[in-house]
């Protein structure tokens, strides 16, 4: 936690300085300091399940590619998704260059925030579809023999043998929400959701191709395919946090500081889960993370129909993880007594 703590101190001091400079008072600095702190906590609470999924995937990668993900991957996560992604969204939505989008963010933050919110529907459709596929791919696995909530997970496993059931289930959810939205917005929702579905299938197939080559010694096992999968997954997790951050502030730099601090703590949690083999020690922790992802995907869909407070999203995600942690601890205690 050394580097996250250092970055936290520097980031919060920078947030204080920006607030003092922009608002011209000590109170303004304190206001920006507190907002950056809340954003960091929000990012950590929303992304703990991301750390668990990252750790599960990293176990299958070679040490070299683990190191690459934990170095280059975190740079992409912090600077790409927390800074460049919002700028690209505004650039596409307003039909302006990224530099002009940056100028809008600096000189007209209210317009910048409005453009981000206008792009929320396709972002929610893409991210929700991708995350729903991620969650269902975990539960709909014929080889999965460890179940936490047995009735639900056994039902999922029985459906796994039906060809195309996973994609059909996600497509059905997308169509239901599209009908609820209605009008021209439904077309935008369907297009973005379709792109999310295609992206998941493409990334998954790329990983399978590279893994088959790995078996013949052509490439390192789980190398680029797994790396790309984790980056797209992180992007999907980031959508919710980036959009939700605008409920607290319209300042791009304050958002980047707060979410960047949170992302570094997620990286440290991922390292801890891998090095200490926490997932093997806590039997159902991974299950809780994927239930959290499944709930998050539905929440992202629901957000296009009604506002869903970030506190609900964070509470539900953390709740599944805590419940799975307690269930794992009870299992360990029961096994120790046998």
d(CA 244, CA 296): 13
Question: What was the pLDDT predicted at 45?
Answer: 62
3 state SS of 11: helix
The set of residues, in sequence order, having a beta carbon less than 8 Å from that of 60 and lying 6+ positions away, is 221, 222, 226
Report DSSP state, residue 79. I
Segments of 215-305 assigned E as strands: none
Average pLDDT over residues 188-196: 90
d(CA 86, CA 98): 10
Count of domains for the chain? 1
**What's the pLDDT tens digit per position in 289-327?**
788 888 888 988 998 888 877 667 767 877 888 898 899
Q: Which domain holds residue 215?
A: 2-337
Question: What was the pLDDT predicted at 56?
Answer: 74
Q: Which band of pLDDT confidence, cut at 50, 70 and 90, is reported for residue 178?
A: very high
How far is CA 211 from its chain centroid?
Answer: 24
Q: Which band of pLDDT confidence, cut at 50, 70 and 90, is reported for residue 114?
A: confident
CA-closest candidate to residue 243, choices 133, 73, 132, 112: 112
3 state SS of 212: helix
Between 275 and 13, the higher pLDDT residue: 13
**What's the pLDDT tens digit per position in 24-82?**
888 888 888 888 887 777 677 666 667 777 777 777 777 777 777 777 776 776 667 66
């Amino acid at each position: 936690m050394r580097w996250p703590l250092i970055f936290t101190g520097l980031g919060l001091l920078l947030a204080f300085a920006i607030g003092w400079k922009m608002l011209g008072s000590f109170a303004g600095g304190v206001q920006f300091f507190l907002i950056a702190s809340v954003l960091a906590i929000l990012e950590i609470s929303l992304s703990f399940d991301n750390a668990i999924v990252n750790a599960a995937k990293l176990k299958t990668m070679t040490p070299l590619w683990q190191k690459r993900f934990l170095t280059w991957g975190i740079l992409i996560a912090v600077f790409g998704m927390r800074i460049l992604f919002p700028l690209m969204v505004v650039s596409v939505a307003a039909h302006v260059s990224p530099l002009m989008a940056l100028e809008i963010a600096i000189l007209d933050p209210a317009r910048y925030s409005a453009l981000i919110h206008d792009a929320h529907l396709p972002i929610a459709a893409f991210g929700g579809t991708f995350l729903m596929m991620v969650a269902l791919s975990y539960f709909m696995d014929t080889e999965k023999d460890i179940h936490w909530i047995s009735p639900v997970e056994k039902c999922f496993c029985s459906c796994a043998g039906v060809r195309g059931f996973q994609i059909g289930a996600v497509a059905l959810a997308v169509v239901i929400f599209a009908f609820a939205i209605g009008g021209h917005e439904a077309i935008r929702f369907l297009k973005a959701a379709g792109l999310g579905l295609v992206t998941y299938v493409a990334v998954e197939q790329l990983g399978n191709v590279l893994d088959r080559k790995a078996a013949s010694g052509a490439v390192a096992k789980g190398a680029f395919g797994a790396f790309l999968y984790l980056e797209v997954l992180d992007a999907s997790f980031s959508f919710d946090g980036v959009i939700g951050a605008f409920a607290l502030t319209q300042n791009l730099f304050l958002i980047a500081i707060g979410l960047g601090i949170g992302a570094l703590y997620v990286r440290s949690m991922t390292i801890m889960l891998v090095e200490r083999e926490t997932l093997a020690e806590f039997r159902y922790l991974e299950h809780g993370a994927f239930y959290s992802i499944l709930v998050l995907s539905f929440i992202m869909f629901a957000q296009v129909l009604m506002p869903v407070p970030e506190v609900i999203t964070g509470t539900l995600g953390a709740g599944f993880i805590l419940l799975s942690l307690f269930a794992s601890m009870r299992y360990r205690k029961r096994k120790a007594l046998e």
